[in-house]
Amino acid sequence: MGQEISRRTFLRGGIAAAAGLAAGSIPGAAAATAQQKEAQLATLLDISKCIGCGACVEACNETNAAKYPDPRKPFPRMYPNRVPVEDWSEKQDVDDRLTPYNWLFIQQATVNLNGEEQEITLPRRCMHCVNPPCVKLCPWGAARQLDNGISRIDSDICLGGSKCKKVCPWDVPQRQTGTGLYLDILPSFAGNGVMYKCDRCYDRVADGQLPACIEACPEDVQTVGPRDEIIQKAHMLAKEMNGYIYGEKENGGTNTIYVSPVPFEELNKAIETGKGKPHLEPVKDTMAEANNLAAAMAIAPVAGIAAAVGKFVKLARSKQ
């Protein structure tokens, strides 16, 4: 049976594991505490330095290829057919938008700067929100936020229902059908794959290394550090270049802070937006909305149990 887990094994062992593990692992408390915010690492991106060479995109692909989906085909049919099939496995080379096989892309804008037409390029990926709705509202506990502020989707647990994408103000997570836990438990009824996005190279960071895109950049566009220091640097840089900041306040604050010589309103008009191509609009704090706050509080214990079940499934897989 290889990587597969039988539904019976899943239900029997998973629920038992959940009972034992859930208590200490509830991932969805509704708000980020001040202490959590302090511990978070943020990235500063100086857009004025980016030359659009794509070395960061290449490095991201090389480093994270082992985490990309390897779907099983043909895909099982869904009843009812409410979650559409999304298949990027034949389009793995697409690099001008976010896909399950491309977690970072370069956005381009032609703008008027100091009376001259100029080409601006900027790397786009998950913003790693300080209080991420994708994590707080994932009903299955598959999206988690680490203490250092990195949000990641556990591909061993995700069912691909795409709640994370619906609640993400930038529609960042991208689905691949035919992979993940749903195939082992309820292939016709649950989810329809796994959601993928930048995990800020959490494994490299845990090893004391820099995220691959930061290390590969020849222009030192990105700087990483404690969020309060990064915010201070961003303000100094913005002052020096008479520029603008994006990400400090958006969605209640993110751990990705862009500094640009051009107003983000102008940039947003000039970039191509749409599916897999995030905008640069102002974003209000989605987790401050009463319905999302209440949903997060309600989901937290269930997500804790589900995450514990997922841990059991991982363990069962490793023993097969």
Nearest distance, CB of residue 255 and ligand SF4, angstroms: 8
Q: Which of residues 252-271 bind ligand SF4 (CB under 6 A)?
A: none
For ligand SF4, the closer of residues 50 and 111 by Cβ is 50
H/E segment holding residue 176? strand 174-176
Adjacent-strand bridge partners of 107: 122
For ligand SF4, the closer of residues 12 and 49 by Cβ is 49
Per-residue contact track with ligand SF4, 138 to 177, x per CB under 6 A? -------------x----------------x-x-xx----
For ligand SF4, the closer of residues 17 and 222 by Cβ is 222
- Contact present, 49 and 220 (Cβ < 8 Å): yes
Quickly tell me which residue has 């002052």 as its tokens. 239
Contact between 104 and ligand SF4 by CB under 6 A: the answer reads: yes
Contact between 297 and ligand SF4 by CB under 6 A: the answer reads: no
Distance CA 61, CA 52 (A): 16
Judged by CB under 6 A, the residue of 221, 234, 295, 309 near ligand SF4 is: 221
Quickly tell me which residue has 């900027």 as its tokens. 122
Contact between 129 and ligand SF4 by CB under 6 A: the answer reads: yes
Nearest distance, CB of residue 121 and ligand SF4, angstroms: 6
Give phi and psi for 226, each to the nearest 5. Answer: -55, 140
- CA of residue 144 relative to chain centroid, distance: 10
Contact between 102 and ligand SF4 by CB under 6 A: the answer reads: no
Contact between 103 and ligand SF4 by CB under 6 A: the answer reads: yes
Judged by CB under 6 A, the residue of 17, 109, 142, 213 near ligand SF4 is: 213
Judged by CB under 6 A, the residue of 200, 250, 311, 312 near ligand SF4 is: 200
Distance CA 189, CA 175 (A): 16
- What's at 303, amino acid-wise? A
The DSSP secondary-structure symbol of 73 reads S
Nearest distance, CB of residue 187 and ligand SF4, angstroms: 26
For ligand SF4, the closer of residues 102 and 192 by Cβ is 102
274 torsion bin: left (phi>0), alpha (psi -120 to 50), beta (else): left
For ligand SF4, the closer of residues 204 and 314 by Cβ is 204
For ligand SF4, the closer of residues 17 and 125 by Cβ is 125
Distance CA 253, CA 235 (A): 15
Contact between 51 and ligand SF4 by CB under 6 A: the answer reads: yes
Query: For residue 313, what are the CA distances in angstroms to 7, 12, 109, 209, 230?
Result: 10, 11, 45, 29, 38
Give phi and psi for 184, each to the nearest 5. Answer: -85, -25
Contact between 283 and ligand SF4 by CB under 6 A: the answer reads: no
Nearest distance, CB of residue 264 and ligand SF4, angstroms: 16
Number of Cβ atoms within 10 Å of the Cβ of 2: 5
Query: For residue 276, what are the CA distances in angstroms to 64, 72, 103, 171?
Result: 18, 23, 10, 7
Judged by CB under 6 A, the residue of 44, 134, 280, 287 near ligand SF4 is: 134
Segment contacting ligand SF4 by CB under 6 A, of 72-80, 215-223, 290-298, 308-316: 215-223
The tokens for 220 are 């030192």
| Site residues, ligand SF4 (CB under 6 A) | 50-56, 59-60, 63-64, 103-104, 106, 121, 123, 125-129, 132-134, 151, 168, 170, 172-173, 197-201, 211-213, 216-217, 219, 221
